[in-house]
């Protein structure tokens, strides 16, 4: 099972924010900005699977690549308002059909910033989570490139899909989106930061990534997200916090789904501790909650972190077959260290243990038959430009 779920772009941006440098070539009044990154992982994995997963051997050495190129032309008007475009190209050799990731327009000035187009919500983008300096990220589900806890796996008696709700859902992250909508065509507003506080609001007509008509009776509509983010220092303690809430209209008179979450980081000199929590409600096949906690340490070019993540959701494969509620749970612990060679290149090492457990097998049998557990030791290198 390889590259079923790519590392989320927002998490990749978080990990590279301190290193990326945008190149700009002036073309009259337009700045033709571009930037990007190429991250390569080499890792060895030891994988154990439940009794239902037969004829498999996932142990050994493998590679995982995560790379994007961002085209960011912009223009600044005489009144100081900046108008830009951000188009993000997947640069991997196999992008699973997703050649262009986010694509949107920005309008920014003293009034704040608007993002208009295919992009995540303000709740997602303003989330604060536990320290994690790894380049593969405990919350991104990229570990599935080495440990096959998502996607189709051959079982005794046929093919089953386990762990299908990692991406943007509580099983895999606290960076969730309502009912797992992703990069919907939406408009978002971020206020200026005042006394450390920033507010945001997003609206999407539906969960589609392009415009067009939508049937209110069959599609999630009117997706609204609001969020707040705070950054400040008190008596030598650095504080970063976030809170978010979102709702949407369910089709055919169903229950309107909601999401909410919060995160907090506290910095004490070179140490940072923190965590986050998220919950999805109103989607019987995707309800659940997740949280992470962690500690980070920085000393010159070196960074270290220890991160723990636990996610749970109702298993939508089992709920129909069993006529009741069955659950999946993903637990990951990640130890990582990075060395910043210069502003554009860093190398690192990570050790992770990750385990997916199901309360019932996909066939309705005893727990443990579909479980997957793996330990991964890897090297990473990331070049940004």
Sequence ranges of the domains in the chain: 9-384
What's the pLDDT tens digit per position in 317-349?
555 555 556 788 999 999 999 999 999 999 999
What is the CATH code for 9-384?
A: 2.40.160.10
- Burial group, residue 166, by CB count within 10 angstroms (0-12, 13-18, 19+): buried
What's the pLDDT tens digit per position in 15-32?
444 444 455 555 557 898
169 near 5, Cβ under 8 Å? no
pLDDT for 328 equals 87
* 8-state DSSP, 6: P
pLDDT for 160 equals 57
* Positions in the chain whose pLDDT score sits under 50: 1-10, 12-21
What's the pLDDT tens digit per position in 111-155?
999 999 999 999 999 999 999 999 999 997 789 899 988 765 666
Strand boundaries in 11-130, DSSP class E: 23-27, 30-49, 60-76, 82-90, 100-109, 112-118
Half-sphere exposure of 327 (CA within 13 A, CB side): 11
pLDDT for 55 equals 72
| Cβ-based neighbours of 98, under 8 Å, separated by 6 or more | 6, 90
pLDDT for 9 equals 47
Q: What is the distance between the alpha carbons of residues 12 and 69, in angstroms, rounded to a whole number?
A: 12
206 near 216, Cβ under 8 Å? no
């Amino acid at each position: 099972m390889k590259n079923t779920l790519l590392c989320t772009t927002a998490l990749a941006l978080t990990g590279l924010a301190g290193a990326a440098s945008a190149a700009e070539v002036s073309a009259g009044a337009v700045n033709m900005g571009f930037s990007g990154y190429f991250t390569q992982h080499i890792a060895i994995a030891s994988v154990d699977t439940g009794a239902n997963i037969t004829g498999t051997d996932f142990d050994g050495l493998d590679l995982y690549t995560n790379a994007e190129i961002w085209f960011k032309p912009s223009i600044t008007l005489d009144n100081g308002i900046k108008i830009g475009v951000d188009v993000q190209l997947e640069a991997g050799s196999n992008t699973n059909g997703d050649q262009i990731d986010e694509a949107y327009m920005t309008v920014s000035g003293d009034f704040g910033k608007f993002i208009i187009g295919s992009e995540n919500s303000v709740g997602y983008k303003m989330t604060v989570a536990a320290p994690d300096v790894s380049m593969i990220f405990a919350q991104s589900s990229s570990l599935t490139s080495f440990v096959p806890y998502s996607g189709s796996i051959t079982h005794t008696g046929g093919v089953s899909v386990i762990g299908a709700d990692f991406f943007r859902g509580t099983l895999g992250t606290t960076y969730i989106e309502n009912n797992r909508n992703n990069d919907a065509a939406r408009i978002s507003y971020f206020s200026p930061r005042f006394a450390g506080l920033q507010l945001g609001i997003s609206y999407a007509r539906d969960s589609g990534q392009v415009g067009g008509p939508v049937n209110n009776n069959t599609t999630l509509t009117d997706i609204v997200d609001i969020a707040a983010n705070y950054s400040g220092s008190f008596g030598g303690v650095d504080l970063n916090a976030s809170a978010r809430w979102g709702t949407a209209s369910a089709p055919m008179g169903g229950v309107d789904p909601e999401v909410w979450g919060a995160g907090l980081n506290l910095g004490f000199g070179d140490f940072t501790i923190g965590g986050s929590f998220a919950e999805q409600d109103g989607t019987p096949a995707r309800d659940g909650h997740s949280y992470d906690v962690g500690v980070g340490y920085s000393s010159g070019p070196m960074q270290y972190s220890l991160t723990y993540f636990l996610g749970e959701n109702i298993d939508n494969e089992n709920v129909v077959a069993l006529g009741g509620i069955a659950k999946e749970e993903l637990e990951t612990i990640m130890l990582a260290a990075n060395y910043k060679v210069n502003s554009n290149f860093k190398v690192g090492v990570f050790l992770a243990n990750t385990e997916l457990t199901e309360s019932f097998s996909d066939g309705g049998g005893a727990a443990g038959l579909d479980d997957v557990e793996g330990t991964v030791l890897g090297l990473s290198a990331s070049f940004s430009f």
